[in-house]
Amino acid sequence: MRIETVFLFDLDGTLVDSVYQHVLAWKEALDAEGIPLSVWRIHRKIGMSGGLFTNQLLRETGLDIDPERIDRLRRLHAEAYGRLSKGVVPLPGAKELLATLTENRIPWAIATSGRMETAGHNLVALGVDPDQVPVVTRDLVKYAKPDPDLFLAAAERLNAPIEHAVIVGDSIWDMLAARRCRGLGVGLLSGGYGTEELERAGAVRVYDDPAMLLQHLDEVGGRR
């Protein structure tokens, strides 16, 4: 008897090089609302749920952010990201990694904190059809990262126990969510977080990008 491994991937900063487009889109949205926040502080929040983003925003700015303003910020971010997403490309090795898993009949899915209005641009860049591949977005779950709902839903789509999942992400929010649902967290540096940060959040292995993960796939159970 052996465990049949499945892979669950974050999207932004994990499979596509889109983190900084998101940062700049949020900066544009916040500026439009007159909310001062440094670019580096925005980067530290990419990958978490919109609700947690808002809570941290409240703590750091002391501003009163009502539901209407939150909705405007989301729409402004989506509009700005739609323009900036033209520069989004797959990270090195991302397509090859997914193709290798498919060729070896190792199930995989994507679980992203982004809503389909932004994630759709990235899926096109990656060449992934959500009608053919399990993709779970923020629209489909009650809570996003660092809650584990996205990964639990993705594992369910693959009919696999979450304990059999290798969860690949670039942020501490991915690793915290993986830890909470008892998946095996694997971190990538391609989203801007450091090795020590990812390991402290629960990553058992850290690689530079999808290309390096592909070279070491057997280390995390990615073989038939």
Among all residues, which ones are annotated catalytic? Answer: 10, 12
As a whole number of angstroms, the distance between CA 183 and CA 175 comes to 9
Q: What count of residues does the chain have?
A: 224
Per DSSP, the residues of 82-93 read HHHGGG--BPTT
What sign does the dihedral 67-70-74-76 (CA atoms) show? positive
Tokens of 28: 């544009």
- Coil, helix or strand at residue 193: coil
As a whole number of angstroms, the distance between CA 118 and CA 217 comes to 29
C-alpha separations of 32 from 37, 75, 84, 147 in Å: 12, 11, 16, 29
As a whole number of angstroms, the distance between CA 20 and CA 41 comes to 12
E strands, the chain, in order = 6-9, 108-111, 135-136, 165-169, 184-188, 205-207
Cβ atoms < 10 Å from Cβ of 106: 18
